Amino acid sequence: TVRFIEYMENVHAEVDIKGMQSAELLEIIGSRYAYSDEGFDGHSPSHYYKLEDGYEFGIIEPHKDDFCAKCNRIRLTAEGNLIPCLYFDEAMSIRDAVRRGDIKEAALVLKEVIRTKPEKNRWSDPDGELSKRAFYETGG
């Protein structure tokens, strides 16, 4: 299954990069193919759709669907930081605990990162706040 992700603005890409939101993508696909809305499967932030021929695709829609409350993703950077959310700048270092082989400390950091995952992003807020996270440094 192919998954598309809506363009997620941030201060590093606000002007130079343009993307599209799910409504635009679905309009383009719908102009050529009939599709059905399959909803969410519970294990992914993707909203799934199915073409008449059975091909499935998903769209991660942070502007339309605030999936943060059910997001089960964290990211580990090359520098050893655990990132609980793509939108917010917060991160916790697990590097030193891993280098020392301190499994208990690493587990505490991991638990804290998971515990502090935000329940909501701010992409759709009227104040227009943009994320400061540089996604190209985040990893996936």
45-70 pLDDT per residue, tens:
788 999 999 999 999 887 766 677 77
| CA 125/CA 130 separation, integer angstroms | 10
For tokens 């950077």, the residue is: 77
Domains of the chain, by residue range, sit at 2-60, 72-137
Is the pLDDT score of 8 beyond 90? no
Order of strands across the sheet that contains 2-5: 2-5, 56-60, 46-51, 35-39
The more confidently predicted of residues 104 and 131 is: 104
| CA 8/CA 78 separation, integer angstroms | 22
Q: Which of 52-61, 115-124, 127-136 has the lowest mean pLDDT?
A: 127-136
Cα 61 from chain centroid (whole Å):
9
Q: What is the pLDDT of residue 14?
A: 62
The more confidently predicted of residues 67 and 95 is: 95
* Mean pLDDT, the chain, whole residue set: 83
CB neighbour burial string for 48-75, b if at least 16 within 10 angstroms, e if fewer: bbeeeeeeebbbbbbeebbbbeebeeeb
